[in-house]
Every structure is written in C-alpha cells, then in structure tokens.
Amino acid sequence: MSECIFCRIVNGEAAASIVAETAGALAFMDINQPVPGHVLVIPKAHIQDIYALDAATGAEVFALTIEVAKAVKAALQADGLNLLQANERAGQQDVFHFHLHVMARYTGDRDRVHLGWHPHLPARAELDALAERIKRQMTNGGVD
C-alpha cells in the first residue's frame, strides 16, 4: 500500500507527529489544523473503510481514540470535541484508509462541521419501517 499516505506513516516512510500508539493503532496530528488539536486515529493495518473493519481492530482503534480525546481536552483546554469518521466518496472520505478524526473545539472558534443536510422529520411509521429493514439485515442477513 505504498500509495496510501497513512500506510507510509505507519511504516515510517512519511513524516508524522505521533501522539500515541498501540500494537494495532496509531494516533498522529492531522496536517490540517482548522483549530489546534486535530488528531487522526487509524488502524496500523490497511483497512479501507468501516465495512472492512473487524470488531477487534475497531475496539483497539476506538480505545485509543478515547484516550486521545481525553488527552486533547486536558492538554489543550478544549471546550468540546468532535469525532468524525467518513466512508466512501459519497460520505466525503478522502483518504481510503479507515480513520477517526478527533477534533478539539473551542467556544467561538470559526470552524464548523457541516454535512450539508436539511432537516427532514418523517412520520414514525417511516422510521419504524427503516429500523425494521436494518434490524432484519443485522439479525438474519436480510432474509425474511
């Protein structure tokens, strides 16, 4: 995966400001810092997106994310925090290696997470039908 910048960081082939690491996860400063305290947490193995992420690796990445989030808040006196994770082009993923953004937030900062959606409040019956479709997929692979 020499074309993957995150794999190159993991392999020591590209520079990064490392925050923390475990056997299977790495946290480093994002080169884009809209406000101070934007950290990325990734699996060390190349995993393209959440669909390819196994539960054990996900647990390790998220455990490191929790530690990083607490440290960002304490070290930088952040007033809040965003966690962001994107998948596929339609989901605005731009580096195709699973990663979580840990973004410090400060009262009055000008950066805003904007996903571009407009409120749509469907009827309860529509929500129930969507929930059932998803639940059915989770429990029996979508087979009725």
- What pLDDT is recorded for position 139? 87
Asked whether residue 51 is domain-assigned, the answer is yes
The CATH number assigned to the domain holding 95 equals: 3.30.428.10
3-state secondary structure (DSSP) of residue 16? coil
What is the pLDDT averaged over residues 55-68? 97
- What pLDDT is recorded for position 110? 77
Asked whether residue 144 is domain-assigned, the answer is no
Asked whether residue 127 is domain-assigned, the answer is no
User: Would you list the DSSP string of 48-105?
Assistant: -SGGG--HHHHHHHHHHHHHHHHHHHHHHT-SEEEEE---TGGGT--SSS--EEEEEE
The total number of structural domains that make up the chain: 1
- What pLDDT is recorded for position 92? 85
Q: How far apart are CA 141 and CA 139, in angstroms?
A: 6
Q: How far apart are CA 88 and CA 80, in angstroms?
A: 27
- What pLDDT is recorded for position 7? 97
pLDDT in tens, 85-96: 999 998 888 999
Question: Which comes out higher in pLDDT, residue 114 or 63?
Answer: 63
Compute and round to an integer the Cα radius of gyration of the chain. Answer: 18
Asked whether residue 36 is domain-assigned, the answer is yes
Asked whether residue 126 is domain-assigned, the answer is no
pLDDT in tens, 108-140: 887 666 656 667 788 889 888 888 998 899 887
Asked whether residue 142 is domain-assigned, the answer is no
pLDDT in tens, 13-61: 999 999 999 999 999 999 998 889 999 999 999 999 999 999 999 999 9
Q: How far apart are CA 82 and CA 144, in angstroms?
A: 38
Q: How far apart are CA 73 and CA 70, in angstroms?
A: 5
Asked whether residue 75 is domain-assigned, the answer is yes
CA distances from 132 to 1, 123, 129, 142 (A): 39, 15, 5, 10
Asked whether residue 58 is domain-assigned, the answer is yes
Which residues pair with residue 90 across a beta bridge?
none
Which domain, by its residues, includes 95?
Answer: 5-116
pTM: 0.86
